[in-house]
Each structure stands twice: as structure tokens, then as C-alpha cells.
Amino acid sequence: MSKEGVTALYGRDTLSELALHLQAVSKTFGGLRAVDGVELAVRPGERRALIGPNGAGKTTLFNLIAGALPASAGRISLFGTDVTGMAQHRRAALGLARTFQITNLFPTLTVLDNVRLAAQARTADRFAMLRPVSGFADLQARAREALAAVGLDDRATSRVRHLSHGEQRQLEIALALAGRPRVLLLDEPTAGLSQAEAGHMTALLRGLDPAITLLIIEHDMDIALEVARHVTVLHYGRVIADGSCDAVRADPTVREIYLGA
Amino acid sequence: MTTEFWITQTFNGLSYGALLFLLASGLSLIFGVMRIVNLAHGSYFLLGGYVGLSVVWRTHSFVLALLAGAVAVALIGVGMERLFLRRLSGQTLGQVLMTIGFALIFQDLALLLWGGDPYSLPVPAPLQGVLIVGALRFPRYRLFIMLVAVVIGAALWLALDRTRAGAMIRAAVDDAEMAQGVGIRVPTISMGVFALGAALAALGGVIGGGFLGVYPGLDFEILPYAFVVVIVGGLGSLPGAMVGSLLVGLLDNFGKALFPELAYFTLFAPMALILALRPTGLFGRT
Amino acid sequence: MTSRRALLAGLGTALVAGMVAPLLSAYPLTLLTQVAVVAILAMSLDVLLGYTGLPSLGHAAYFGVAAYAVGILATDYKRGFLTCLLAGLLLATLTAALFGLIAIRASGTYFLMITLALGMVVWGLAFRWVSMTKGDNGIAGVPRPELPLPWSLAAPLPFFYLTLAAAVLAWALLGLLVRSPFGLSLMGIRESESRMRALGYNVWLHKYLAFVIAGAFAGFAGVFWAYYNGFVSPVDVQLVTSVETLLMVALGGPGTLAGPALGAAVIVFLKNFVSVYTKRWLLILGAVYIGVILFAPRGVLGAFRRERR
């Protein structure tokens, strides 16, 4: 969305306060335009769902926002700061956290150590070399807090590879939360979960701190619309619909893609 | 530093590069198809030289030495791949470490079979002597090395580009899983490429025997050169191996001529530069 | 193994070694001394390989550079222990700092090749820079350090206690390192670099620091090696030495510190034992290598898992 469009829709002051602002962002791989001129304006505290059929470019877009991939064109801003050329770890330092569609944890380490890594990531303590990890009470507390938030406190000493798939997806979220993020990108958090597990996950997501800005990729339209108020629909790398749940549900192009597909 | 000096050194550098091409092209191809770096590659070079030596001592035939060296080492390569490396299919680092084990074994076997004295492979009469052009003297043997490298380079290029086998190899290099999926027998290709790479290294060893000599320790001494060539040129790329070997040959030669005490250090700078600019080498793929 | 158990086990081993030492004759005592020195080297490589997942085939370079520093300073310049120790450590650290800039940019296979090549650069210098290193002849006659102690370090027993103390110190410091938040970050990098980046870590920096620290400790081992051996030569920086060190870590169990120390003991004893009966040490080493890789339980190679995601 252009500056004029944002101002028109949200009011004059909102521009610099946007949690996430994408302007004409594109990504090409050889001849393929995976992401094509995407405009996105997400306000702080907003819950936004990013939906679209397989191959629509949703995860690629996440990778661009997070900095795992460099954008071919366009501008990405995080709370007013231009992060387009910024390295991944520096964007995280600005308060951006993400989860992965395919579980990406530290397999041989314990659940607690996994979260500790997340908790210490943006602190000076990560360079401490002469004191054991257990001696850092503050980090320990943050780690435990994150585990409690996702309901994994009783699994703290288990090794990740011994967790069930559902527990691993929970840990994915815990890792993202432990760093106290301002913007959280969730890539298909319910992927591979049973009905019951998905229900728990949805409740978890709905209960997250309202100050955190959430951007969720979800395959399941129903779950997406349960957690988010505002939906952006992606198709072949382009935004084809962007608005409230009802507006999107009623949009003819969206209906065609989802019902006609 | 006269003009003669520069021309002679350039010529020497190019001929050394030609020899390195024989060694490095095999290493690059093996990596391209199997994604492993064969740390026994220097050993193939050395063993080729030793086998060639023994054959020449017995038969006085340089051609036979070339053939014997290539075939013998190709067989060793095939044995290594089929009987050992294949058991760790998929564990690339394990396979790489296994090749170190073999490198040690080969080094010791060579010591056992041929002793600790350095040897020089007798050069056949037609390749001896120098070609005189004005005030410059070009050793015929070095010209021969360059010719061999050009011929082999061209043959490899054509084979990869024009033949069916070449297409299969290129497919396997590009995406082994996909290639297997369309019916290409990747394990057979791997074995074939391994044998080819070993044979090329051995060929280099026989030919190199006439001008570097054959001696214990040569295997580990020449290995870093092969590595720098493929690091500079990019693993898995034949043009990369060609460009890389010429660059390394020239740099090393000038380095040795100007700063003899620094040895490998002169390769250090180009390696650092390339890695700083293009981490996967000039033509490389990860 | 919990921190406390590891601490007790390590101290216990050192204590036992210390008590047994006076009962040993000269030869086994020198072997034990050699184990102490080499264990430091193996543990230093473990930080890089076992904990960070970076397979270096050129670790002997830092070991050797420090050994040469001591060799040259102690013979030609008649410098004392402290000067030699500091010079060795400094040189090893600077070398690692320089080499790290090149090596850490690469990953996986390229890293392996680059570290090998860099190791050979040092070997080449040791071999060819005759005016400095005396080339193939090596530097002989490195005297034992003269410390303000009532016992002469020229005698095997006091020298053993010195190296044992050094080994315990290295083990304690490295033990703290691997249990610290920084140590945890290294393990995180080993398991998933992509996740670490997403969490906000400057992965390159952590790897680089690990590389330099590992090099520094390898240098620490090198200092004591020069004094132990009394002789420094290109053999100390040759590829085979790096390869032996890697095997110690692989054999003993990467990512445990104690494992590689044990691996060091095994390889030192094996090497010395084998050398009595045959000259074919390399053949046996190679066979052991292949055997370990083929038949050892996956756990041994577990740390070599580089999950590139």
C-alpha cells in the first residue's frame, strides 16, 4: 500500500508507527517471480493472516521480511526503520521473530537449552564465557516464562528429538516468544497437528500478548480467521485481496481461487 | 627482471597449471557428482607416479606407464568407492573423513613398496631437450604437458557437452535426486566419475613424475594445490578447474621465483581474495 | 554428564595421575606427559569440531606456530618461560585470528579444504623458511624452563606435574567455556545455523571467536610440546598431525571435552606401542580411522551432523 493509501485509510500519523511496511516488494528467482510487487501495511498489535494457495509465495514473503532472502526490489520497514538491506540477525535485534513451517529446532539440546538460546540471543550475556548458563537467573526466568506460555514447562529437561510433533510446534512458538518480540511471523503454526492440538495452538495464539504484532501464514482458512481480524490474500506472489475477514470471504476473486481450485 | 625472465616464468607457470588441471579436474568432477572432497586425491597422483615408474623400469615404455598408472589407480578408486564410500551414502562428512584414512594407508603402502628415496620418471627421448625460439628455451617436456592438458580438457568438455554419458553426468551434478528419478543410474555414474577422476590424477602423477619427481610426501604436498584450484575455480565446474589451475600455476611459479622461502604462502593471497569476493569460487556452486 | 560430575571426574583423574606418577619409571612417565600435552590440543579442537560443528583439518598449525615460537626464543634468544609462553600464545592467537578471517567465511566442505590448505601454508613456511625455522632439520636443544621452584624441570617428574597442571587449567577453562551462554550458542550453531540467525545471533562472529579461542588453546598445548619434546620440526605442523588430532576427537566423542582427552590418551599410547613393533603407524592409523568411521555408533559422528537448513 502506498503512503497515500495508508494515510487515507489509517490516518496521517500512522505511517511511522506501522509495525511492518512493505512497499512494492518483489523477489525473482531466475525467471520466476515468487513475490510480485507486494504492498503490506501492518499496524502495531494487529493480528494479520496471510493466506493463499500453495506456491503463492507466502513463505518466501516471510523470508524476505525476516531477511533470510534479499529482496529483488522494494522496501521493507520495521517500526519506521528501513531494514531492506539489513542482515537477518540485525532485524531480529529490532524485535522481529519468526517460526518455521518445517520445524527448525536444536535437536540434541534440551527444551530448556533451546529456549535459553532464544532468551539470551539479544542480550550481552550471549558472549559470557566464564559463567555457566545456569548462573544467569534472569535468562533462566525468561526461558521458563516462554515455556509456561506454550505449556511445555514439564518437558524442560527432555531433548527435542524426543518430543512429539505437536510439542515441537509448541517449542517453535516458545523460541519466538522468549526473545520478547515486537513483531512475530508465524509460518503455519498448526502444520501437521491433530484437531485437538490445533485447537490448543489456536487458543495459545489468541492468548498472546496484545502488544505483539502477529502475521500468520495459515493454510486452514477457518483457523486463520479465528486468530486474525485482518486478512491478506496472496496468489502467484501478488496481493489479490486485503481487508477484514468478511470482506475477503465475500471477495469474488478469492472465492474463485478457493472454491474453484 | 628481463623479458626473458617473465616469458620463461609465464611458460613455466602455464605448464605447471596444465599439470594441476589434470589433478584438479578429477577432484572437481568427483565433488560435482558425489558432493565429497576426496582427500586421497593426492595419493592417486602419487600412486600413479609410482606405478608409472615401475612400469617404465621394466618395459621402458612411457605410453605403457601412462596406461598402467591410469588403469591401476582407476581400479583403486573404484574399489574405494564401491566397497567403502558407498556404505556411508549420504553422510558426506563421514565419507570425506574416510578418504583421509585411505590417504594415510596409501602413503604408508607406497613407502613400503617403493622405499623412501626420491625418483625421477625417465622421460622418453622425443620429449627431451628444448625448443629454441630466439633467445628463449622451452623444454619439450613442458610443452608436452600443456598439450596433454589441452587435449584432455577438450575431450572432457566435448564428452560432457555432446555425449549421452556426459549429459547424464551433468544431470547428476545438477540434481542427483532428480536424475535418479528420471532413470539415470546415479550410483553407476558416481563410480564411473570416481574412476575417471582417479585416472586423471594418476595420469598427472605419471607425467608429473618426469618433472616434479616421485617421492614420499608428494601426495600431501600437492593436495593443497588441487584444493586451491577448486576453491578458486569453484567445485564441480570444469571451466573453473581450467581457469583455476592456470591461475594457481602462474601464481605459484612467480611466487617461488620471487620469494622462494614463502612456499605456499603465495597461494594464500588469491585464496583469501576469491573467498572474500565469491565464497563459492569463480564458477562454483555450493 | 552434569557439571559437578564432570568436575569431579576430571579432578579425580588428575589426582590419580598425580599420585601414580612418582611410582612410574621414566618411559611411561614421559608418555603420560605427552598425553597431558596432547589432551590440551584435542580438547581445543573439540571446541571447534564437537561443539561448533566446524571440521578443521589444519589445527596443528596453531599448535606448531606456538611450538616454533618457544623453540626459537628459548634457543637462539635464551628467553625464559614467561616470555616464551606469552609469545607462543600470542603468535598462535594471531595466526588463528588471521586464518579465521578466511576460513570462517566458508562452510562445510570448503571450510575443510581451506583449513587443510592453511595448515599446509604453515607447514610450507616451517619447511622452506630455513633462516627462521632451520627447515627440515628442526630446532633442537630446547631447554626445559627454569622456574623459581626447588625442583629442576629437566627431571621428568617435576615436568610432568607442570604439564598436568597446565592440562587441568586448560580443561577447567574450556569446561567453563562450553557451559557458558557463549558455549551454548556454539552448540546452537552446530545444530541449526539458520535458527540461530533467525533468533538474532551474528553467527559469523560466534564461529570466528570459537576459531580463535580454539587456536589459542592449541597454541597453549604447543608451548608445552616444545618444552616436552626439546625439539620442534615441520612434523609438528604436518597434515598427519592435524589428522591425528581429528581422530582423537572423533574417537573419544566429539562435544564432550573429556572424550577427546581420552582419545588423545588412546592415540598416544597406540602410536608409541605400535612404533615398538613396526614402522607402519600411518597404515594402522588409517585403518583405525576407517574402522571408527564405519563401525562406531552414530553417536561418534553425531557432532559432524551439519544440518544446513
ipTM of the complex: 0.89
Q: What is the pLDDT of residue C124?
A: 87
C191·A68 Cβ contact <8 A = no
3-state secondary structure C249-299: HHHHCCCCCHHHHHHHHHHHHHHHHHHHHCCCHHHHHHHHHHHHHHHCCHH
Band of residue A261 on the pLDDT scale cut at 50, 70, 90: very low
Q: Which of the two residues, A259 and B65, has the higher pLDDT score?
A: B65
Q: Which fold has domain B3-277?
A: ABC transporter involved in vitamin B12 uptake, BtuC (1.10.3470)
State the greatest distance between any 2 C-alpha atoms of chain C, in Å, as a whole number.
58
Domains annotated on chain A, with CATH? 1-88+215-261 (3.40.50.300)
CB contact residues (below 8 A), chain B span 243-282, against chain C: 260-265, 267-268, 271-272, 275-276, 279-280
Could you read off the pLDDT of B60-87 as tens digits, one per residue?
899 999 999 999 999 999 999 888 888 8
Q: What is the pLDDT of residue A164?
A: 92
Paired strand residues for A186: A216
Confidence (pTM): 0.90
Point out the residues of chain B with pLDDT beneath 50: none
Contacts of A125 in chain C (CB under 8 A): 181
> Under CATH, which architecture does the C3-302 domain have?
Orthogonal Bundle (1.10)
Tell me the C-alpha distance between C76 and A37, whole Å: 70
Nearest to B206 by CA among B26, B59, B104, B67: B67
Q: In this structure, are strands A32-42 and A230-235 parallel, antiparallel, or unpaired?
A: unpaired
| Segment A243-258 mean pLDDT | 83
Q: What is the pLDDT of residue C286?
A: 92
* Residue in the block written with cell 498472546: A208
Nearest to A140 by CA among A153, A151, A127: A153
Contact by Cβ (8 Å): A80, A13: no
Nearest to C308 by CA among C111, C144, C67, C175: C111
Contacts of C194 in chain A (CB under 8 A): 68, 104
Tell me the C-alpha distance between C47 and C42, whole Å: 9
Enclosing H/E stretch for A240: strand A238-244
Band of residue A6 on the pLDDT scale cut at 50, 70, 90: low
The structural domains of chain B, with segments of one domain joined by +, span 3-277
pLDDT over 70 at A11, yes or no: no
Residue of B262, B265, B275 lying closest to C102 (CB–CB):
B275
Q: Which of the two residues, A6 and C60, has the higher pLDDT score?
A: C60
Contact by Cβ (8 Å): C69, C128: no
Q: What is the pLDDT of residue C309?
A: 28
Nearest chain C residue to B99, by CA: C290
Residue of C113, C117, C285 lying closest to B104 (CB–CB):
C285
Tell me the C-alpha distance between A54 and C83, whole Å: 66
Q: What is the pLDDT of residue B33?
A: 80
pLDDT over 50 at A185, yes or no: yes
| Among A108, A117, A125, A171, the residue to mutate for chain C (most C Cβ within 10 A) | A117
Band of residue A260 on the pLDDT scale cut at 50, 70, 90: low
Contacts of A168 in chain C (CB under 8 A): none
| Segment A13-18 mean pLDDT | 65
Q: Is C193 left (phi over 0), alpha (psi -120 to 50) or beta?
A: alpha
B276·C124 Cβ contact <8 A = no
Cβ contacts of B24 within 8 Å, gap of 6 or more: B225, B226, B229, B230, B233, B241, B244, B245
| Closest chain C C-alpha to A142 CA, distance in angstroms | 14
Nearest chain C residue to B85, by CA: C294
Could you read off the pLDDT of A90-100 as tens digits, one per residue?
999 999 999 99
| Closest chain C C-alpha to B263 CA, distance in angstroms | 6
Q: What is the pLDDT of residue C302?
A: 42
Residue of C181, C187, C195 lying closest to A128 (CB–CB):
C181
The dihedral sign for the CA sequence B88, B94, B99, B103: negative
Q: What is the pLDDT of residue B36?
A: 81
Phi–psi pair at C7, nearest 5 degrees:
-60, -50
Q: What is the dihedral of CA A161, A163, A169, A170, to 10 degrees?
A: -130
Residue of C191, C200, C209 lying closest to A121 (CB–CB):
C200
Q: What is the pLDDT of residue A71?
A: 93
Question: A94, exposed or middle or buried, with CB in 10 Å at 0-12, 13-18, 19+?
Answer: middle
| Closest chain C C-alpha to A194 CA, distance in angstroms | 25
Q: What is the pLDDT of residue C300?
A: 42
| pLDDT tens by residue, chain C, 309 residues | 466 777 788 888 889 999 998 888 889 999 999 999 999 999 999 999 999 999 999 999 999 999 999 999 999 998 889 999 999 999 999 999 999 998 998 877 788 888 988 998 899 889 888 888 898 899 999 999 888 888 888 888 999 999 999 999 999 999 999 999 999 999 999 999 999 999 999 999 999 999 999 999 999 999 999 999 999 999 999 999 999 999 899 888 888 888 899 899 999 999 999 888 888 899 999 998 888 888 874 444 344 443 332
Contacts of B103 in chain C (CB under 8 A): 286
Contact by Cβ (8 Å): A231, A225: yes
The structural domains of chain C, with segments of one domain joined by +, span 3-302
CB contact residues (below 8 A), chain C span 139-198, against chain B: none
